[in-house]
């Protein structure tokens, strides 16, 4: 049985879709079978970020409405053969995304994939709550910036109350993914510190993704950043995040932070 991950944030534009594509690709590059599901009905973009926008035949709503089989709607990545995309509908209303339908689709995907990654829409409306509903693990994407941290706190509250796991009284596994981290601004003291964000949100840190041109480049050419440039700083950060997600105790290093000989050994403890 595969694991269901929701990539969520509350706030828009913090890097949910970029991170869903990069984490999904990184897991698939390691040989795992991965499907990334776009829940942003009406404003899909995961297809574009993954470079599959011209190949969308059917979508999540078609599957839920019984107009297409799940296997027909899945788009296999051209570069990594264990990576699949289930696109959101661009034209249908959000109301077509029913709780029952989503449950059935996630249930079927779990059987066939090692990882089901749900890319949540921004906001706290039904699209976002449906994306998180069946998750085993939540990745909360946050920028080191006040409004993003506030919205993440709100989302963490929803993860602890509106998910199936929470309703069953189980613990919802949550991880913080700090994105668009700018070492230069941090150096100047103009950005919230990693420790500040961690203290406020008090969930374990999965990784820190530096603000980078490589992320923009990757989306321009329609490739997850871990595929576009495997050696780039954001790609390395995503690969490391995936190793932590799989249980490895890999210390998190803050981008740009100079660390001495001892610092390397006594680095920040990972999740």
Asked if 48 interacts with other proteins (CB under 8 A), we say: yes
Whole-angstrom CA distances from 50 to 130, 199, 218 are 22, 34, 9
Alpha-carbon distance 230 to 217, whole Å?
Answer: 13
Q: Near other proteins by CB under 8 A, which window of 45-53, 100-108, 116-124, 150-158?
A: 45-53
Q: How is residue 223 written in tokens?
A: 């490739």
What's the token pair of residue 64? 């839920």
Q: How far is the CB of 72 from other proteins (least distance, A)?
A: 6
Please state the closest distance from residue 68 (CB atom) to other proteins, in A: 8
Q: Which of 8, 89, 126, 219 binds other proteins (CB under 8 A)?
A: 219
Least distance from other proteins to the Cβ atom of residue 58, Å: 8
In our burial notation (b when 16+ CB lie closer than 10 A, e otherwise), range 1-16 reads ebbbbbbbbbbeebbb
User: Smallest distance, Å, CB 146 to other proteins?
Assistant: 30
Nearer to other proteins, 146 or 213 (CB): 213
| Residue 41: CB minimum distance to other proteins, A | 15
Of the CA atoms within 13 Å of residue 231, those in its CB half-sphere come to 0
Read off the tokens for 30.
Answer: 């390691």
The reply to whether 78 sits near other proteins by the rule CB under 8 A is no
220 belongs to the binding site for other proteins (CB under 8 A): yes
Where are the strands (E) in 49-199, listed by range?
75-76, 83-86, 115-119, 137-142, 173-181
Among positions 53-72, residues that touch other proteins (CB under 8 A) are 53-58, 68-69, 71-72
* Interface with other proteins (CB under 8 A): 48, 51, 53-58, 68-69, 71-72, 90-91, 216-217, 219-222, 229
């Amino acid at each position: 049985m595969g694991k269901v991950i929701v990539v969520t944030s509350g706030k828009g534009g913090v890097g949910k879709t970029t991170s869903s594509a990069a984490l999904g690709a990184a897991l698939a590059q390691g040989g795992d079978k991965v499907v990334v599901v776009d829940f942003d009905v009406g404003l899909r973009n995961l297809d574009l970020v993954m470079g599959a926008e011209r190949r969308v035949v059917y979508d999540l709503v078609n599957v839920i409405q019984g107009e297409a089989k799940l296997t027909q709607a899945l788009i296999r990545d051209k570069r990594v053969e264990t990576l699949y995309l289930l696109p959101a509908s661009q034209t249908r209303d959000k109301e077509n995304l029913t709780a029952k339908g989503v449950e059935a689709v996630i249930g079927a995907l779990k059987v066939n994939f090692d990882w089901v990654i749900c890319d949540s829409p921004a906001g706290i409306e039904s699209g976002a709550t449906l994306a998180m509903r069946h998750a085993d693990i939540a990745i909360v994407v946050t920028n080191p910036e006040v409004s993003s941290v506030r919205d993440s706190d709100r989302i963490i509250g929803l993860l602890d109350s509106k998910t199936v796991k929470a309703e069953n009284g189980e613990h919802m596994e949550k991880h913080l993914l700090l994105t668009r981290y700018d070492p230069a601004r941090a150096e100047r003291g103009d950005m919230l510190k990693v420790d500040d964000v961690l203290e406020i949100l008090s969930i374990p840190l999965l990784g820190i993704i530096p603000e980078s041109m490589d992320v923009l480049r990757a989306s321009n050419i329609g490739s997850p950043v871990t595929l576009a440039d495997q050696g780039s700083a954001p790609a390395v950060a995503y690969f490391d995040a995936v190793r932590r997600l799989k249980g490895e105790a890999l210390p998190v290093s803050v981008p740009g932070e100079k660390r001495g000989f001892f610092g390397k050994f006594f680095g920040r403890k990972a999740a």
